[in-house]
Chain A
Amino acid sequence: ETGVTQTPRHLVMGMTNKKSLKCEQHLGHNAMYWYKQSAKKPLELMFVYSLEERVENNSVPSRFSPECPNSSHLFLHLHTLQPEDSALYLCASSQDRGRDYTFGSGTRLTVV
């Protein structure tokens, strides 16, 4: 495995469900990010972890809960989501405050 891997690729969940998105990077980077991508809108930064410490939390609703157990893994725990949370969720990694990010292919989330 190389690069940044996200699972699952697709997820459909009800508003009362609890699910988790997983991201794993094999690049030896020490910073990881969650972004939300909605159609025709800019990528929205959600959370940033550097050396497993959360350094950015962009006013994200508490129904999204990130976890970074080590520098290679990042999770996004989801509960009681709303239909407007349906989007592509992208994970990325970088070395320090690196000028370029490596993105995963994302998880396409649909909330019904």
Chain B
Amino acid sequence: GQSLEQPSEVTAVEGAIVQINCTYQTSGFYGLSWYQQHDGGAPTFLSYNGLDGLEETGRFSSFLSRSDSYGYLLLQELQMKDSASYFCAVKDGGFKTIFGAGTRLFVKA
């Protein structure tokens, strides 16, 4: 079957760095995406990795290792507003994007 595994919850302190890991097992792979969703809100696109390595967008970075079927999202200088759910998602090259169950991030003062 197809699956993406990510931790269900992570807690960190304001100003700290947190890493959310994602491992995947899918029949097709074109790229790994990350989305953020606040309670009651729409998932919003954060980043995409089509090739191995690190992509940086402001305080957020995302990493991919295709040989390990593994990626992570790194959030730096955590702020209270970063408390949300974070989803990794695999794109199959067609119209299918398969999502993980999400990681709930709690940022404490």
Contacts and interface: CB of A to CB of B under 8 A. Distances in A.
A48 interface: yes
Which residue among A33, A55, A97 has the maximum number of chain B CB atoms within 10 Å of its CB?
A97
Interface residues of B, number: 26
Given A97-B94, A97-B95, A99-B91, A42 B42 contact: no
A108 to B, nearest CB: 9
B40, B45, B97, B98: residue with the most chain A Cβ atoms closer than 10 Å: B97
Interface residues of A, number: 23
Interface in A63-112: 90, 97, 99-106
A13 interface: no
27 contacts: A31-B95, A33-B95, A35-B99, A40-B102, A41-B101, A42-B98, A42-B100, A42-B102, A43-B43, A43-B89, A43-B99, A45-B98, A48-B95, A48-B96, A55-B94, A56-B94, A97-B91, A97-B94, A99-B31, A99-B50, A100-B48, A101-B43, A101-B45, A103-B35, A103-B42, A105-B41, A106-B42
Nearest to B104: A40
B33 interface: yes
A54 B81 CA distance: 38
A106 B33 CA distance: 20
Interface in B76-94: 87, 89, 91, 93-94
